[in-house]
Structure 1
Amino acid sequence: MATISGAAQVNTIESASTAAPQTNPNSGEALKNEFITLMVAQIENQDPLNPTDGTEYVSQLAQFSQVESTENLVQLMQSNTAMLDNLQVLSTAGLVDKSVTVRSDQLQMTPSSVNQGYIELLAPSNTVTIELLDGAGNVTQIPLGPKSAGQVNFTIDAQQHELNGHYQMRVSLDSGQSYSPTIFQHGTVAKVTTPAMDGTSHIEVEGIGRVAFYDVAAFSQ
């Protein structure tokens, strides 16, 4: 990081935010001003015995005003989007070392890991089984037994199930229940990644991995 000390070292840096704004000749405002200039010139030089109908001028001027209003609305929306992106960056930066609950079916285990979370059942099921699929296609099953509709908590102990590595989670239910229950997992935020340009911020959650900010379902201390 450069350090500036003294007025002699201050340089003028021109960027997109400091450079003089360039007028767009095709903008609604520029076209409207050009139209008004041409309209005034035409009125001044028209045949006084056969004047042009002013209704047409008013109609065309209204169309240019509508285009200008639309451009202003687009610029306002762009400014609001940029402000929301900045607010998202500020809010995600404060999540490091905080506990969160995220929607994710990804699992990263070490031999000593213990992962907790819950699934949302839309209907009762006599059999509820969490299945962990590794990169080689092997499946580890963790039966949870019969469960009622609603929140079903689970705990995954890596040592108990001999887990180590990255897994994809899925839930197996009674035959006839074709939906996939949403999986929620608890974890601690290790890192926050903000987009270089427009996009969504991501967080790195211990035991889960990279998750989009909008997949955070709950925050806790």
Structure 2
Amino acid sequence: MTTISGAAQVNNIESASTITPQDNPNSASALKNEFITLMVAQIENQDPLNPTDGTEYVAQLAQFSQVESTENLVQLTQNNSTMLDNLQVLSTAALIDKTVTVKSDRLSASGVDQHAGYVELQAPSNTVILELVDSLGNVKSMNLGPNSAGRVDYTLDAQAMGLTGEYQMRIKLDSGQDYQPSIYQHGQVEHVTTPLIGGTSHLQVKGVGMVAFYDVAAFSNE
């Protein structure tokens, strides 16, 4: 994997599409050319009193053409995939030092920072309590009060609440509401890790940890 940190810039990206491929003797194009060469030689040396039926040659040539077209389509698809991967690298590199919103119920608290985000309620609830559970099972809570369906913002003061280390976040609702609302967190992108071959980029988000690029729900200029 390649890691891009701080304000690092991507100056050059080399992909498989920029490297000149070596000729493949077993490719559809090479086999087609070899077939045509053999066909011409056979026609030139056939018995003029007993010529070979040309229908078979035409049918085989059509099959080779179909295989060649399929192979070209596969190559085009691979090139497009490589181009999309390169575009993803450029776009994620530009996110460094920017604020993003990610869907995550994991909190990595430093003990001094504030952590902000929101909860997405599917229905109104008189009880909306944000609970943070550490590795030992200890729970610290923040009462967000009664709320209607939709977005409920929160801000955690790590120093005031004594939050240090890793926490699992969960929401406690009114009795009878048996779903767990989605939790979103705002955080600054510290560095980006991109795979060398295929796959998605990952972002190291302050206060959250490593998240996949497709888990980002919103972007900010901050």
Q: Give the Å deviation of 1:47.
A: 4.4
Determine the C-alpha separation between the residues in 2 that align with 1:20 and 1:111: 53
Moved more, 23-32 or 133-142: 133-142
**TM-score, normalising length: structure 2:** 0.81
Determine the C-alpha separation between the residues in 1 that align with 2:118 and 2:124: 15
> Pairwise CA RMSD of aligned residues?
2.4
1:129 aligns with 2:129: yes
Letter in structure 2 aligned against 1:194:
T
Query: Deviation digits for residues 113-170 of structure 1, max 9, x if unmatched?
Result: 2111112122223322222221222232323233221111111222333211111212
Q: Give the match for residue 5 of structure 1.
A: none
Determine the C-alpha separation between the residues in 1 that align with 2:159 and 2:106: 18
Q: Give the match for residue 200 of structure 2.
A: 200
Determine the C-alpha separation between the residues in 2 that align with 1:19 and 1:174: 60
Q: Give the Å deviation of 1:99.
A: 1.4
Query: Deviation digits for residues 69-100 of structure 1, max 9, x if unmatched?
Result: 11111111111121111111112222222111
Give runs of aligned pairs for residues 23-62 of structure 1, distance below 5 A.
23-62=23-62
Give runs of aligned pairs for residues 77-116 of structure 1, distance below 5 A.
77-116=77-116
Give runs of aligned pairs for residues 7-18 of structure 1, distance below 5 A.
none
Determine the C-alpha separation between the residues in 2 that align with 1:136 and 1:158: 18
Q: Give the Å deviation of 1:105.
A: 1.5
Give runs of aligned pairs for residues 131-170 of structure 1, distance below 5 A.
131-170=131-170
Contact 2:17 2:82 in 1 (8 A): no
Q: Identity of paired residues, percent?
A: 69
Question: Cα 1:85–1:17, aligned 2, differ >3 Å: closer, same or farther?
Answer: closer
Question: Cα 1:181–1:49, aligned 2, differ >3 Å: closer, same or farther?
Answer: farther
Q: Give the Å deviation of 1:203.
A: 1.6
Question: Cα 1:57–1:164, aligned 2, differ >3 Å: closer, same or farther?
Answer: same
Moved more, 141-150 or 162-171: 141-150
Q: Is there any run of 5+ residues in structure 1 with no aligned partner, and where?
A: 1-15
Q: Is there any run of 5+ residues in structure 2 with no aligned partner, and where?
A: 1-15
**TM-score, normalising length: structure 1:** 0.82
Determine the C-alpha separation between the residues in 2 that align with 1:47 and 1:89: 62
Letter in structure 2 aligned against 1:102:
V
Counterpart of 1:62 in 2: which secondary structure?
Answer: helix
Q: Give the Å deviation of 1:19.
A: 8.1
Q: Give the match for residue 13 of structure 2.
A: none
Question: Cα 1:21–1:204, aligned 2, differ >3 Å: closer, same or farther?
Answer: closer
The answer to which structure, 1 or 2, has the higher relative contact order (CA under 8 A, 6+ apart) is 2
Q: Give the Å deviation of 1:56.
A: 2.7
Number of residue pairs aligned between Structure 1 and Structure 2: 206
